[in-house]
């Protein structure tokens, strides 16, 4: 017995309407799970963007004057090499500084990027001290702030480190909650299919008697779970875009400390994250539907 599109659509719709509360509950759980996972990913990306200069143990940055001579740059480099309190340092020339400048501002302020050229940007040293203790960092900041050709020295504040730690803890917590919600969504899909199968058990028996194939009976029930996953994923993705807009308009504004200036996430990253979330939700609900159908629909 061949499957027909109109039959599959009609039967899937009947199943969804027959169990509206279970269907709505499943969709709500999928929405919350997708929104939480998406929010966690955006949060981590935003924190990474805002604190990109402070990754890998970097505790302070020595900014050189844009017109600093090569001799002055070499002198600062030698001083960093010779300091027993400095574990390592990385030098960013004008091209590297311009590349970072483009990466941080090309999405939100492209007109500013077009006006800036590499020659006006300062070169810098990213410095990782032997120990991140505040006394050591403060002493190094003062020492290299007095070097010839240095424009200023900027140190990572306790606020930045707290933001990174809180972000990591929140991401782990949200991931655990999302796993629980995903499991709940799969259970809801199973309950929905079980209820639908039970209410149509006589119809299924008749279809079996007239020669209906396994797929003919099972596909409408499977699509029921997939449709719930698609609707829930789409609504969850809308919530993710809303969160991204919130970060752009509120959190990414001037916080008085300059910490969250680059917190916003690029639109391409948001779209890629949303697509991954959509595919993940559809695949998970499809698997849950297949398992439930195989278990409850014995043909």
Residue 106's CATH number: 3.30.70.3040
- Can you tell me the mean pLDDT for 262-287? 82
Please check whether residues 38 and 61 belong to one and the same domain.
no
Please check whether residues 133 and 150 belong to one and the same domain.
yes
Please check whether residues 107 and 249 belong to one and the same domain.
no
Please check whether residues 112 and 186 belong to one and the same domain.
no
Quick one: three-class SS letters along 245-298? HHHHHHHCCCCCCCCCCCCCCCHHHHHHHHHHHHHHHHHHHHHHHHHHHHHHCC
What percent of the chain shows pLDDT beyond 70?
Answer: 71
Please check whether residues 150 and 229 belong to one and the same domain.
no
Please check whether residues 31 and 174 belong to one and the same domain.
yes
This model's pTM is above 0.75: no
pLDDT digits (tens, 9 = 90+) for 154-196: 887 655 667 767 777 877 887 788 788 878 877 877 777 777 6
Last residue of a domain, one of 130, 155, 180: 155
124: helix, strand or coil: strand
Q: Which of 56-65, 200-209, 235-244 has the least mean pLDDT?
A: 200-209
Please check whether residues 120 and 67 belong to one and the same domain.
yes
Please check whether residues 42 and 128 belong to one and the same domain.
no
pLDDT > 90? residue 74: yes
Please check whether residues 46 and 178 belong to one and the same domain.
yes
Tokens 């970060």, residue?
247
Last residue of a domain, one of 137, 155, 173: 155
Whether 270 contacts 42, CB under 8 Å: yes
Give residue 256's pLDDT band: very low, low, confident or very high (50, 70, 90). very low
Instruction: In whole angstroms, give the CA distance from residue 67 to residue 70.
Output: 9
Q: Which of 45-54, 170-179, 239-248 has the least mean pLDDT?
A: 45-54
Please check whether residues 146 and 290 belong to one and the same domain.
no
Please count the structural domains in the chain.
2
Q: Which domain holds residue 275?
A: 5-51+160-296
Last residue of a domain, one of 120, 139, 155: 155
- Can you tell me the mean pLDDT for 71-99? 90
Please check whether residues 172 and 266 belong to one and the same domain.
yes
Give residue 255's pLDDT band: very low, low, confident or very high (50, 70, 90). very low
Q: Which of 106-115, 129-138, 232-241 has the least mean pLDDT?
A: 106-115
């Amino acid at each position: 017995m061949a499957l027909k599109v109109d039959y599959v659509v009609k039967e899937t719709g009947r199943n969804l309407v027959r169990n509206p509360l279970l269907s709505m509950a499943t969709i709500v759980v999928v929405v919350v799970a997708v929104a939480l996972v998406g929010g966690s990913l955006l949060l981590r990306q935003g924190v990474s963007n805002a604190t990109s200069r402070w990754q890998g143990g970097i505790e302070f940055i020595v900014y050189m004057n844009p017109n600093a001579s090569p001799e002055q740059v070499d002198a600062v480099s030698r001083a960093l090499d010779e300091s027993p309190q400095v574990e390592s340092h990385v030098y960013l020339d004008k091209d590297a500084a311009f590349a970072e400048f483009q990466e941080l501002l090309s999405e939100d302020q492209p007109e500013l990027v077009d006006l800036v050229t590499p020659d006006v940007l300062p070169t810098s040293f990213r410095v990782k001290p032997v120990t991140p203790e505040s006394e050591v960092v403060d002493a190094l900041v003062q020492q290299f702030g007095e070097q010839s050709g240095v424009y200023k020295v900027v140190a990572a504040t306790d606020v930045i480190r707290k933001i990174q730690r809180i972000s990591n803890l929140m991401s782990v917590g949200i991931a655990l909650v999302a796993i629980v919600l995903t499991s709940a969504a799969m259970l809801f899909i199973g309950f929905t299919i079980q209820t639908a199968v039970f209410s149509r058990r006589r119809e299924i028996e008749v279809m079996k008697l007239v020669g209906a194939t396994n797929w003919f009976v099972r596909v409408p029930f499977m699509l029921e779970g997939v449709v719930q996953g698609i609707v829930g994923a789409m609504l969850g993705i809308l919530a993710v875009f809303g969160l991204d807009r919130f970060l752009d308009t509120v959190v990414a504004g001037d916080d008085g400390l300059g910490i969250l200036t680059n917190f916003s996430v690029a639109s391409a990253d948001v779209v890629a994250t949303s697509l991954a979330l959509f595919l993940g939700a559809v695949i998970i609900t499809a698997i849950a539907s297949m398992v439930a159908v195989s278990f409850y629909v014995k043909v």
